Structure formats: C-alpha cells, structure tokens
Amino acid sequence: MRIALDTNRLTDLFRGDADLAEFLGGCDEVGIPFVVIGEMMAGFLGGTRSAANERLLASFLNRETVIVLYADRATTEQYARLFVQLKRAGTPVPDNDLWIAALCLEHDLALITRDQHFHKIPQLRQTAGR
C-alpha cells in the first residue's frame, strides 16, 4: 500500500500511536508532503522540545519507505484544479491542505488524516490507517 500522512497523523505517530506505527510498517511507501514537514517544524519551534522533535522527524524521514513529496509543475496544476473545483462547489479547504491533496493525487497516494474537510475532495483516496 502507498499512503501519505497529514500533519495530525504524523503527530499522532510521534506521540506513540502504536496501531498507526504497525500499519505504516506494512506500507510499501509513506509520502510526507513538504507542507507537513513545514507545519511540523513550525510546531517544534513553538514548543519546548524543538531539538528532540527535529531529530525524531529526521530519523523518520530517513526510513527506506519514506519519501518527501515536493511540489512541481504537475502539483501546481493539480492544486489549481482542486482550488477551482472547491470554489465552484462553495466548499473551500485550507490552502496547506490543498497542497497536500494535490500531492496525493499527483502521486496516487491514499491520505491518512483526521481532518474531515478532505472529504470535500471526492477524487482523493483516504484510508484510516487504523
């Protein structure tokens, strides 16, 4: 299985979600959108364990099955299509989450998230990740 993690689920993992860790252990590929890394780093800077959390993130990103997803031209086109689709439907989604969805669609990854607004994007596959 090929999946991507939203910020809230990566946070859950780092806080010790054993079921999620077990699920991820069985995945062929775990994508981490660049936006998720930025949100995590911002959270680290606002906390008291910045250095320890940054080491934890670096260790996770170095795993063989983990890839960082960066935006390119194809991503910007996915983003634009999603933006217009959601605007026309009157169901906006936060910009950072649009980037995450665009990357998942571009790379054909199912998203693991707790955010309900991703359900406004019917073409985005999601999985519970336990």
> Do the Cβ atoms of 104 and 111 come closer than 8 Å?
yes
Report yes or no on 129 lying in a domain. no
Report yes or no on 127 lying in a domain. no
Report yes or no on 90 lying in a domain. yes
Domain carrying residue 78:
2-120
**pLDDT, tens only, 77-100:** 999 999 999 999 999 999 999 999
Q: What are phi and psi of 126, to 5 degrees?
A: -130, 155
pLDDT score at 66: 98
Pairing of strands 110-112, 2-5: parallel
Q: What are phi and psi of 111, to 5 degrees?
A: -95, 135
User: Domain of 66: which CATH number?
Assistant: 3.40.50.1010
Q: What are phi and psi of 28, to 5 degrees?
A: -75, -30
- Report the share of the chain in percent with pLDDT over 70: 99
pLDDT score at 48: 86
Cα 60 versus chain centre, distance: 14
- CA–CA dist 2, 48 (Å, integer): 33
Number of domains present in the structure of the chain: 1
pLDDT score at 47: 83
* pLDDT top residue among 104 and 48: 104
- CA–CA dist 115, 7 (Å, integer): 10
pLDDT score at 61: 97
